[in-house]
Amino acid sequence: DAKTTQPPSMDCAEGRAANLPCNHSTISGNEYVYWYRQIHSQGPQYIIHGLKNNETNEMASLIITEDRKSSTLILPHATLRDTAVYYCIVRVEGGTSYGKLTFGQGTILTVHP
């Protein structure tokens, strides 16, 4: 699986957009980018995933660069409840991967009032 690099921490003002970057320069063509978050003391929560097209759902948007070497998770209007650790995960689809995930250190996002 491709290695990912995320900043250890970021701050954001409430109501503003939070843009969380992830570098995955060794990603291969059949690897997807997944984002999860973990609010303090809770289990991780799936946010969004994508292959090469930008994706949007009710929680966030995922922007993947054309060369697929990096991506950005966007929370359009951050709230205090979005304070969490955000994990960017790259995984190949299918085969014997069986949906296993490898979590790194993630980015601690703190949303300030």
Sole binder of another protein in the list 28, 54, 79, 102 (CB under 8 A)? 102
Single-letter residue type at 20:
L
- Please state the closest distance from residue 103 (CB atom) to another protein, in A: 3
Sole binder of another protein in the list 18, 22, 34, 75 (CB under 8 A)? 34
Phi-psi sector, 40: left (phi>0), alpha (psi -120 to 50), beta:
beta
Q: Going by DSSP bridges, is the β-strand pair 84-92/70-75 parallel, antiparallel, or unpaired? A: unpaired
Binding segment for another protein (CB under 8 A), chosen from 21-29, 36-44, 62-70, 74-82, is: 36-44
What gap in Å lies between CA 4 and CA 68, rounded to an integer? 12
Compute how many other C-beta atoms are within 10 angstroms of the C-beta atom of residue 111: 20
- Per-residue binder mask for another protein (CB under 8 A), 44-73, x = binder: xxx--x-x----------------------
Binding segment for another protein (CB under 8 A), chosen from 16-24, 63-71, 75-83, 96-104, is: 96-104
Contacts with 63 (C-beta within 8 Å, 6 or more apart), sequence order: 54, 71, 72, 74
Is 93 a residue that touches another protein (CB under 8 A)? yes
Single-letter residue type at 45:
Q
Is 35 a residue that touches another protein (CB under 8 A)? no
Residues of this chain that interact with another protein (CB under 8 A) are: 32, 34, 36, 41-46, 49, 51, 87, 89, 91, 93-94, 98-106
